[in-house]
Amino acid sequence: MIAKTPQPPYYAVIFTSVRTALDEGYKAMSEKMVKLAEQQPGFLGWEGARNEIGITVSYWESEQAIRTWKANMDHLEAQNLGRDKWYERYKTRVAKVERDYGFERLKD
pLDDT digits (tens, 9 = 90+) for 56-105: 999 999 999 999 999 999 999 999 999 999 999 999 999 999 999 999 99
Cα–Cα distance for residue pair 73/23, rounded to 1 Å: 22
pLDDT digits (tens, 9 = 90+) for 14-59: 999 999 999 999 999 999 999 999 999 999 999 999 999 999 999 9
Query: So what's the pLDDT on residue 87?
Result: 97
Cα–Cα distance for residue pair 79/98, rounded to 1 Å: 28
Cα–Cα distance for residue pair 86/78, rounded to 1 Å: 10
| 85: Cβ contacts below 8 Å, ≥ 6 apart | 20, 22, 24, 25, 26
Q: Say if CB 34 and CB 66 are below 8 A apart.
A: no
Nearest to 3 by CA among 37, 29, 30, 27: 37
Query: So what's the pLDDT on residue 107?
Result: 87
Query: So what's the pLDDT on residue 1?
Result: 87
Q: Which domains does the chain have, with CATH numbers?
A: 10-97 (3.30.70.100)
What is the DSSP-derived secondary structure letter of residue 42?
Answer: T
Nearest to 58 by CA among 7, 103, 93, 19: 93
Using alpha carbons only, give the angle 36, 17, 7 rounded to the nearest 5 degrees.
Answer: 55
- pLDDT for 108 beyond 80: no
